[in-house]
Amino acid sequence: MSWRTKSRLTWLRSLAGVSEEEPLASHTSFGIGGPAEFFVELGRPAAIVQALEGCRERGIPYLVLGAGTNLLIADEGIEGLVIRVVNREHSVEGTRIKAGAGLKMMRLARIAADANLRGFEFAIGVPGTVGGAVYQNAGCWGKEIREVLVQVEGYVPGTGARTWSVGDLKFGYRTSALREGALRGALVIAAEIQLQRGDGEEAKRMMAKLTRERTETQPIKTKNCGSVFKNPTGDSAGRLVQAAGLKGAREGAAIVSPLHGNFIVNEGGATAVEVRRLMERTRAEVKRRFGIELELEVELVGRWK
Ligand code: EPU
């Protein structure tokens, strides 16, 4: 039986600011994805928790979305409620910063530099939000968010508010207990990071240099989802894709970036199915040539047929 009873639909429609059939392509860096059956943007943690608990109690499927930079959303969209988390508050206390899950990592990198704090420059290369970065232990230039984290405030549906230490979150390469472990389905509300006092102007110069470097090696001005595959131990997915002769390979308007083999670019109007086909082709060819199974870094969500 479908969860779509009259009373559940009435409850969804009663949420402040809710919209129906919201196109998600405009909420992802890939510019791809069908509609959210119901969609709401929430900034206050209490309102996010309330919506989430409302769904859980009623058995309504839901998905929490950040900046949508590491997602491939199905063309058929997402059923139930999509909650876009936009809590962007932050506070600096000494060498610590507490940031809302909806704050962009790149913005937080600038906030840290403005406060003359060092050690967070790498975040200028991390698309997405603080919440998304914690969820998958995002990183760049060999540094990961877990290295600067002190603690994370979160919420476990059906259980309540929690404060997690770095150990609780069981971080690994592009993963955590939130993505693949005991805390799956839990929500990140805010994160606290510990940095070092230093010269903010120097931090800004370093970030400008890192961004120039990234512009030369990654197609950052295009519609993409960041790295498609995780790097296999001791190797690079981009190098393998290039060696397999797949740079420039295409399915419709989706193309393997000629600049970096581990990026797929939406040239305009690409569908999720085209991207998925290209991913599968790439995976199969790398396996055939080198015997290496590439593992997806990007997350596939929604109603795949
Ligand atoms: N390479 C190639 N051909 C390519 C791409 C790369 O030969 O088409 C070679 C490079 O020359 C280099 C090596 O592969 O020797 C590694 O490439 P790169 O330095 O570009 O880094 P990467 O391992 O591909 C990782 C992260 C990126 C992050 C960069 C920079 C993963 C999956 N990717 O990429 O993260 O920005 O390092 O630090 O770990 C992301 O997570 O979405 C992401 C973009």
pLDDT tens for each residue of 136-158: 999 999 999 999 999 999 999 99
pLDDT, one tens digit per residue, over 79-118 is 999 999 999 999 999 999 999 999 999 999 999 999 999 9
- Structure pTM? 0.96
pLDDT, one tens digit per residue, over 257-280 is 999 999 999 999 999 999 999 999
Residues 265 and 249: their CA atoms lie apart, in Å, by: 11
CB-facing half-sphere around the CA of 190: CA atoms within 13 A: 17
Amino acid letter, 199: D
Which letter does DSSP use for residue 182 in this model?
A: T
Residues 251 and 271: their CA atoms lie apart, in Å, by: 9
CA of 94 to the centre of ligand 1 (A): 34
Residue 286 has pLDDT above 90, yes or no: yes
Closest residue to atom 20 of ligand 1, CA basis: 217
**Residues labelled as active-site residues:** 174, 227, 297
Reported for 252-260, long-range contacts at CB under 8 A and 24+ positions apart, including other chains, are 254/278, 256/282, 257/218, 257/219, 257/222, 257/224, 259/217, 259/218, 259/219, 260/217, 260/218, 260/219
Residue 191 Cα to chain centre, angstroms: 15
Among 70, 122, 129, 227, name the best residue to mutate to test ligand 1's pocket (greatest count of ligand atoms within 8 A of Cβ). Answer: 227
